[in-house]
Amino acid sequence: MIRVVLPTHLRKLAKVDGELRLDVQGQPTQRSVLDALEASYPMLRGTIRDQVTFKRRPFIRFFALEQDLSNESLDAPLPEPVAKGSEPILVVGAMAGG
Amino acid sequence: MSGVRLLVGTHKGAFVLTSDPKRQQWKVDGPHFTGWEIYHIKGSPADPDRLYASQTTGWFGQLIQRSNDGGKTWEPVGNKFVYEGTPGTHLWYDGKPRPWEFKRVWHLEPSLSDPDTVYAGVEDAALFKSTDGGQSWSELAGLREHPTGPNWAPGAGGMCLHTILQDPKHPDRLFIAISAAGVFRTDDGGKTWRPMNRGLHSEGIPDPNAEVGHCVHRIAMHPSRPDVLFMQKHWDVMRSNDAAESWQEVSGNLPSDFGFPIDVHAHEPETIYVVPIKSDSEHIPPDGKLRVYRSRAGGNEWEELTKGLPQSNCFVNVLRDAMAVDSLDPCGVYFGTSGGQVYASADAGNSWSPIVRDLPAVFSVEVQTLA
C-alpha cells in the first residue's frame, strides 16, 4: 500500500480528501505508482505527466522523506518507507509564478 | 427557465450569470474550477444543457470539462490532444523552425446539430474534433499539414487557433482563424483547407499582402447569411461578401481599428459591434474611454456607444472571445473586460450596465438564449 498526497487542485479534481492509498503490484516505482494512481483516478491523466511521453510536467515535483525524487528514474525503486507505506510520497505543484 | 445564461471564462475560474428575459436582475453562480484559467466555455446549440469548458493551468495542463445540466455540475472528459503523425515544424519568434507542441485549448465550438460533436481550436495551432461528447479527440490534420504550415508563426499571445465558424447552409464548410497565420476554409468537413486572406494588408509582415501570416483576431458571421463575414484584424476591421474569397476594409471612422472582438446583431445582419483599442503596443481604450462601436451599415459608418460605460480613466482590454449577443428582441449584447467587469446591454448597445464588476480578468463571454 502506497500513500500519496496530492496538491489541492488535484484533490478537488479527483474528488478526494486527505491522502490516497494505492495498491501497487511489485516493487513500487514512480511509474508504477503513477500508473496505479491514473487507473484509479482517470481524471488525473495528463495533469501530472504527459499522456504520450510520460514525462513529468515541468512544474510538478515528487517529494518523500524530505527529499526531491523528481529527477530520479521513473523505474527506480521508491525509498523503503514509501514502499512500505510508513511515509507518503508527495505530488507537489512547484512554487512558481513570482 | 426562459431567459439568458452567460458563460464567463476568467483567469481564475468560470462563472454562470443568469437572468430572465428582461435582463435587469442577474444571478451570479461561481466560481467553478477556482484558480484555473478558463479560456472558453460554450453551450451546444442542439442541447442548451450541454456545455463544454476549457480549463488549464501552467502546473497541471489542459482539462476539458463537460456539463449536462447547464453548468450546475461538471465532469472532466478527455484531455488527450495528440497531433496526427509526426507534426513537423512551424516558425518561432526567432524565425527558426520549432516543432509543433500542444499547449492549450483556446476555443470550443459545439456542433450546430449534435451535442456530442464539438471542435477544439488549440495552441500550437490545430483543429481537433470530438464526436463522443469530448471523451476522445482527433485532429483534423489537413489544416496543420497545409503546405504553408511550416511558415506559420505565433502572434504575441501564442500560435493559437481561436475562431471556429460553422456554415449553417453548408454543413461541410468551416472557417477558422489563427494568430498569426490568418483565415482558412474547408468545404469538405476538414479534410482539405485553403488560406482565405486575399485583401488583407498587414504592415507588420515582410509581404503585407501575403497568402498567410496575418494576425486575424476574430471573425464573425450572421447565421442567416454565412457568406458575409466580418473580421477584426490586428489592425483593420474587414468584411467579406463571398465566404472569405476576398476581404475589404470597413474600418471607416473608428477612432482606432485595432481591437479583438467583433460580433453581429442577432436580427440585423448588417449591424456589427467592435471595441476599439488604442494600439497593439498599448492595449487600452483610446482616451481612457470604454466605447463599443456599432455600425448599422455592415461597416465604414460607425457610432460610438457610451451610455453606462466608463468615459474617463478606464484602461481595460476586451479579448477576442469576450463579446457575445443573445437572440432576444431587442438583441442583448455583452462583453467582459480584463478588469473583471461584464457589461450587458438589453437594447442592442444603446445603453449598458455592469452585471458584475469584480471578477478575475475575463477571457471569454458566451450567451445562451433559453426558451
pLDDT digits (tens, 9 = 90+) for B313-363: 999 999 999 999 999 999 999 999 999 999 999 999 999 999 999 999 999
Closest residue of B to A8, CA-based?
A: B35
Domain chopping of chain A, boundaries: 2-93
pLDDT digits (tens, 9 = 90+) for B164-214: 999 999 999 999 999 999 999 999 999 999 999 999 999 988 899 999 999
Name chain A contacts of B79, Cβ cutoff 8 Å: 45-46, 51
Strands A2-5 and A89-93: parallel
Closest residue of A to B57, CA-based?
A: A47
Closest partner residue to B76 (CB to CB) among A13, A48, A59 is A13
Closest residue of A to B36, CA-based?
A: A9
pLDDT at residue B32 tops 90: yes
Residue at grid coordinates 479583438? B260
Shortest distance, CA B149 to any CA of chain A (angstroms): 23
Chain A to chain B, count of Cβ pairs less than 8 Å apart?
41
d(CA A36, CA A3): 12
Cβ contact B332:B368 at 8 Å: no
Looking at residue A96, its pLDDT comes to 67
d(CA B11, CA A69): 31
Show the domains of chain B with their CATH numbers: 37-317 (2.130.10.10)
d(CA B259, CA B321): 12
User: What is the mean predicted confidence (pLDDT) over B99-109?
Assistant: 97
Closest residue of A to B82, CA-based?
A: A52
Are B59 and A9 in contact (CB < 8 Å)? Answer: yes
Shortest CA distance to B76 belongs to which of A86, A9, A60?
A9
pLDDT digits (tens, 9 = 90+) for B34-56: 999 999 999 999 999 999 999 99
A48 touches chain B (CB under 8 A): yes
Shortest distance, CA B76 to any CA of chain A (angstroms): 6
A97 band by pLDDT with thresholds 50, 70 and 90: low
- Most A CBs within 10 Å: which of B59, B83, B100, as the mutation test of the A interface? B59
d(CA B123, CA A3): 36
d(CA B270, CA B272): 6
User: What kind and span of H or E run contains A10?
Assistant: helix A8-14
Shortest CA distance to B64 belongs to which of B99, B15, B109?
B109
Looking at residue B371, its pLDDT comes to 86
The number of CA neighbours under 13 Å toward the Cβ of B359 is 36
Strands B138-139 and B126-130: antiparallel
pLDDT at residue A98 tops 80: no
pLDDT digits (tens, 9 = 90+) for B7-17: 999 999 999 99
Q: What does DSSP assign to residue A41?
A: -
B285 band by pLDDT with thresholds 50, 70 and 90: very high
User: What is the mean predicted confidence (pLDDT) over B21-33?
Assistant: 97
Looking at residue B18, its pLDDT comes to 98
Cβ contact B97:B89 at 8 Å: yes
CA dihedral B249, B223, B167, B293 (to 10 degrees): 30
Name chain A contacts of B36, Cβ cutoff 8 Å: 9
pLDDT digits (tens, 9 = 90+) for B55-66: 999 999 999 999
Tell me what ipTM this predicted complex has: 0.93
What is the CB neighbour count within 10 angstroms for residue A83? Answer: 18
Shortest distance, CA B306 to any CA of chain A (angstroms): 37
Looking at residue B214, its pLDDT comes to 95
d(CA B78, CA B63): 7
Cell output for A60? 510538478
Are B60 and A45 in contact (CB < 8 Å)? Answer: no
Looking at residue A95, its pLDDT comes to 79
Closest residue of A to B64, CA-based?
A: A43
- Most B CBs within 10 Å: which of A8, A9, A10, as the mutation test of the B interface? A9
Cell output for B174? 468551416
pLDDT at residue A33 tops 70: yes
What is the CB neighbour count within 10 angstroms for residue B125? Answer: 26
Are A13 and B63 in contact (CB < 8 Å)? Answer: yes
A57 touches chain B (CB under 8 A): yes
Closest partner residue to B60 (CB to CB) among A10, A96, A97 is A10
Which residues are B231's β-sheet partners? B219, B238
SS (H, E, C) chain B: CCEEEEEEEECCEEEEEEECCCCCCEEEEEEECCCCEEEEEEECCCCCCCEEEEEEECCCEEEEEEECCCCCCCEECCCCCCCCCCCCEEECCCCCEEECCCCEEEEEEECCCCCCCEEEEEECCEEEEECCCCCCCEECCCCCCCCCHHHCCCECCECEEEEEEECCCCCCCEEEEEECCEEEEECCCCCCCEECCCCCCCCCCCCCCCCCCCCEEEEEECCCCCCCEEEEECECEEEECCCCCCCEECCCCCCCCECCCEEECCCCCCCEEECCECCCCCCCCHHHCCCEEEECCCCCCCEEECCCCCCCCCCCCCCCECEEECCCCCCCEEEECCCCCEEEECCCCCCCEEEECCCCCEEEEEEEEEC
Are B59 and A96 in contact (CB < 8 Å)? Answer: yes
d(CA B132, CA B138): 11
A65 touches chain B (CB under 8 A): no
pLDDT digits (tens, 9 = 90+) for B117-158: 999 999 999 999 999 999 999 999 999 999 999 999 998 889
pLDDT digits (tens, 9 = 90+) for B227-284: 999 999 999 999 999 999 999 999 999 999 999 999 999 999 999 999 999 999 999 9
CA dihedral B114, B10, B254, B200 (to 10 degrees): -50
CATH fold of the domain at A2-93: Ubiquitin-like (UB roll) (3.10.20)
Looking at residue B2, its pLDDT comes to 87
Looking at residue B156, its pLDDT comes to 85
pLDDT at residue A29 tops 60: yes
Are B79 and A46 in contact (CB < 8 Å)? Answer: yes
User: What is the mean predicted confidence (pLDDT) over A52-75?
Assistant: 94
Are B60 and A52 in contact (CB < 8 Å)? Answer: no
Q: For residue A42, give Cα distances in angstroms to A56, B5, B26, B343.
A: 16, 31, 36, 38
Shortest distance, CA B364 to any CA of chain A (angstroms): 22
User: What is the mean predicted confidence (pLDDT) over B1-27?
Assistant: 96
Are B60 and A48 in contact (CB < 8 Å)? Answer: yes
